[in-house]
Amino acid sequence: MSENYKDTVAQEDGLTRGDDVLEQFASEDHSSEDRSLTDQDGMEMHSARFQSDESFDSEDEFTEADDDDTEPIIYETAVEDREEQAAFQARMEAAMKTGAENSSLIAPSERGVAEGDAPSGVRSIAEMLGVIESLIFVSEDPLSVRAIAEVLQEDRGWVELAVQELVKEFNERDGGLWLREVAGGWQFATRPEHHEYIRAYLRSRPSAKLSLAALETLAVIAYKQPITVPEILEIRGVQSSSAIKTLLDKRLIIVKGRKETVGRPMMYGTSKEFLLQFGLRDLSELPSFEDFEDLTSSVA
Helix, strand, coil share of the chain (percent; to 5)? 55, 10, 30
Strands 177-182 and 266-270 turn out to be unpaired
CB 269 within 8 A of CB 226: yes
pLDDT given at position 266: 92
Same fold, 89-105+121-193 and 212-296: yes
Summarised one tens digit per residue, pLDDT across range 18-63 is: 555 445 555 555 544 444 444 444 444 443 443 444 444 444 444 4
Summarised one tens digit per residue, pLDDT across range 69-104 is: 544 444 444 455 556 556 655 655 554 454 444 433
pLDDT given at position 298: 53
All structural domains of the chain with their residue ranges: 89-105+121-193, 212-296
Query: Average pLDDT in the 193-221 region?
Result: 79
CB 292 within 8 A of CB 219: yes
Task: Choose between 173 and 35: higher pLDDT.
Answer: 173
Give the closest residue to 128 by CA, choosing from 106, 151, 110, 111.
151
DSSP string, 181-219: EETTEEEEEE-GGGHHHHHHHHHHSPP-PPPHHHHHHHH
Fold of 89-105+121-193: Arc Repressor Mutant, subunit A (1.10.10)
> What phi and psi values does residue 253 have, to the nearest 5 degrees?
-130, 160
pLDDT band at 169 (very low <50, low <70, confident <90, very high): confident
> What phi and psi values does residue 187 have, to the nearest 5 degrees?
-150, 140
**Which sign, positive or negative, has the C-alpha torsion 7, 12, 17, 21?**
positive
Beta-bridged to residue 190, according to DSSP, are 177
Classify domain 212-296 by CATH number: 1.10.10.10
CB 210 within 8 A of CB 296: yes
Cα separation, 79 vs 62, whole angstroms: 30
Residue 230: cis peptide before it, omega within 30 degrees of 0: no
Opening angle at CA 221, ends 250 and 140, nearest 5:
45
pTM of the model: 0.34
Largest CA distance in the chain: 180
Beta-bridged to residue 228, according to DSSP, are 267
Question: Which value, in Å, is the radius of gyration of the alpha carbons in the chain?
Answer: 49
pLDDT given at position 174: 77
Summarised one tens digit per residue, pLDDT across range 104-148 is: 333 333 333 444 444 444 456 677 788 888 888 888 778 888 888
Cα separation, 99 vs 112, whole angstroms: 12
Q: What do you get for the CA distance between the two ends of the chain, in Å?
A: 155
Cα separation, 123 vs 158, whole angstroms: 9
CB 99 within 8 A of CB 106: yes
Cα separation, 82 vs 76, whole angstroms: 10
Summarised one tens digit per residue, pLDDT across range 218-275 is: 989 999 889 999 999 888 888 888 899 989 988 899 999 998 888 889 999 999 888 8
pLDDT given at position 138: 82
Cα separation, 267 vs 257, whole angstroms: 5
